[in-house]
Structures are given as C-alpha cells and as structure tokens.
C-alpha cells in the first residue's frame, strides 16, 4: 500500500505556540486557498453556519479553526474512561447537523462498497486501499485497534498512530496515508471524479456546502507551520500540552465530514475526546528528523 491520507497536507515549517506568528507569506497562502476552496461549486456553506460564539479551547488560530465551530470538535478528556472512546452514532449525527451535513448526503451502501473496493465507474484498487486505510487510522478508537505485526495499538485520542513498520507518528506525518491522500480528495482528483461518475454528485455538493470548506483553509495553514512532527500545542490556563494534528479542531472536523459522507458509522467511530501526549513521547517525536519514533520504545507511556 502506498502512503496517502485525509488528515494532512504536504506542508513543512515550524512548530507553533500560543501567540506564535504565521510565517511570511502564509496569509497570502490562506487567501489563495480560500479562493480555491470556494471555487469548488456554485453554492457554498448553505447548510453550515457557526454554531456558537467563539470559546477558549486552548487552541489558537489557525489550530482552533473557524470561529464558532470550536465547540463541535472534541474536548480534552476529563476522566480515564473517555480515552479513545468513539463518538457513537447519535452524537455523530448531531455533529453532522451542526456542520451542515445529513445522513442523506452520504453514499449509499453500494456506492461505499464500490468506492473502497476499487469498483464503480473509474474505480481504482490502489486508491481505494488508501482511502480505506485512512478511515482505519482516523477511527483507531476502542474496539478498532491497528496492528503492526503482532502489536496492537489504540491511540486516536492522542492524535497518533503506529504505522506498519512499528513507528509512532502523527496522522499528518509525510509518511502517513492520512496525509498523502490529499491528491485523491483535491478538486479534480480521484474522489471527486468518482463521485460524479457514480451518481453521487449530491454528496460532493453537500460536502462543499458544509463547514468542511472553511475548516480546510484553517487546516491548510495549521499544517504549513507544524514541521515534521505535526503536533499541536494546547494551552489552557497555565498548562500546556501536545496533541497530534488530527485532533486539532479544523482538521478533526474536515476528517469527520469526509468520513461522514463516506459512511456515517465511520464518523461515529472517531474519538470523542483528545488526550495530551505524554511529554516524553511528544519531545521525542519533535526531536525526530522524520517526526517518527519506534513505538516499542514508548509503548509503556500509553499503558
């Protein structure tokens, strides 16, 4: 399987802390991305409006995402039983409604099966495997472990996962399927073309009308400044912690929207809360030139 992914984009840069400045040129990039995103169709954001006043999540722009949607994304866990717990379908459906989506916007069961098996008009087995692997990584919650050899891991709340080579990394790492899939979901890419060719144009329109559109712009900027590690600093009061990029509000919502239109039950399996990465682990990931570390060396921190 080649590496591809939903959670990340091919960006590099510097880690961002509270109050950090965007690199020169990022605002221009944001403006250009906004133009590109808004060019996806003739009607935008009709089904999604900010759901609440801006709240202090501990994340800062661009990691906080579009103002008004922060409350939609997972909050930090407050008890051990919340670690890696999935949303559940009822909560997922409620979130979908808040970002402008409905279960009727999703693919039919037959369309979903065709897409992830390489079937349908213009289907591609290799691309299908990438999409399926992305869904597995983003739903690595309780009851849905990932395996590297005989080693299993469940790490979605941390915004981390273990790749087939046994390396612990952010789903936005350059190596991850959940990063490189962006060529498939980009305008004119495989996914959009397949949806149009297989009777799912309404699904594509619904996605672009949802909060996915505006959150993708913030996600773009967030990854632009997060280096190889692709971790995010959260500061609440006097406490700072790190979490993987996939749990930052804009990217979590983008990934949620993508999974929901594929199959609502996939979105329901996403993590309901985020958890701080143990500091020794976060430090090691940030110190690694590839943003990857051997999971075997750090597995005890997650026990």
Question: Over the stretch 80-126, which tens digit does the pLDDT of each residue have?
Answer: 999 999 999 999 999 999 999 999 999 999 999 999 999 999 999 99
Question: Over the stretch 144-165, which tens digit does the pLDDT of each residue have?
Answer: 999 999 999 999 999 999 999 9
Residues 6+ apart with CB under 8 A from 222: 16, 62, 63, 232, 245, 248, 250, 251
* CA-to-CA dists, residue 174 to 67, 162, 163, 241, 255, angstroms: 28, 14, 12, 22, 17
Is the backbone peptide bond immediately before 62 cis, with ω within 30 degrees of 0?
A: yes
CB atoms within 10 A of CB 43: 10
Mean pLDDT, the chain, rounded, equals: 85
278 vs 242: CA distance, rounded Å? 8
Phi, psi of 212 (to 5 degrees): -50, -45
89 vs 127: CA distance, rounded Å? 27
Question: Which parts of the chain register pLDDT below 50?
Answer: 1-46
Tell me which H or E stretch contains 169.
Answer: strand 167-169
3-state secondary structure of 140: coil
């Amino acid at each position: 399987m080649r590496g591809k992914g939903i959670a990340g984009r091919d960006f590099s840069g510097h880690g961002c802390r509270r109050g950090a400045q965007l690199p020169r040129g990022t605002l221009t990039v944001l403006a250009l991305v906004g133009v590109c995103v808004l060019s996806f169709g003739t009607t935008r954001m009709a089904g999604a409006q900010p759901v609440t006043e801006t709240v202090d999540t501990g994340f800062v722009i661009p990691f906080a995402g579009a103002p008004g949607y922060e409350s939609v994304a997972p909050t930090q866990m407050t008890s051990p039983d919340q670690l890696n717990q999935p949303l559940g379908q009822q909560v997922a459906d409620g979130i979908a409604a808040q970002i402008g989506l409905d279960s009727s916007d999703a693919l039919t069961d037959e369309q979903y099966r065709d897409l992830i098996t390489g079937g349908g008009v213009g289907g591609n087995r290799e691309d299908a495997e990438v999409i399926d692997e992305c869904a597995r990584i983003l739903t690595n919650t309780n009851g849905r472990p990932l395996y590297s050899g005989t080693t299993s891991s469940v790490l979605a709340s941390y915004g981390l996962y273990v790749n087939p080579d046994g390396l612990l990394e952010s789903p936005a790492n350059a190596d991850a399927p959940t990063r490189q899939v962006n060529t498939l979901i980009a305008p004119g890419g495989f996914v959009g073309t397949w949806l149009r060719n297989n009777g799912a144009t309404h699904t594509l329109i619904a996605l672009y009308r949802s909060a996915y559109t505006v959150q993708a712009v913030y996600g773009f900027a967030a990854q632009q400044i997060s280096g190889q590690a692709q971790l995010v600093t959260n500061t609440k009061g006097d406490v700072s912690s790190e979490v993987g990029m996939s749990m930052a509000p804009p990217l979590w919502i983008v990934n949620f929207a993508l999974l929901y239109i594929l199959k609502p039950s996939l979105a329901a399996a996403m993590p309901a809360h985020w958890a701080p990465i143990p500091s020794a682990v976060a430090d090691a990931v940030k110190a690694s030139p590839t943003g990857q570390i051997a999971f075997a060396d750090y597995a005890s921190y997650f026990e």
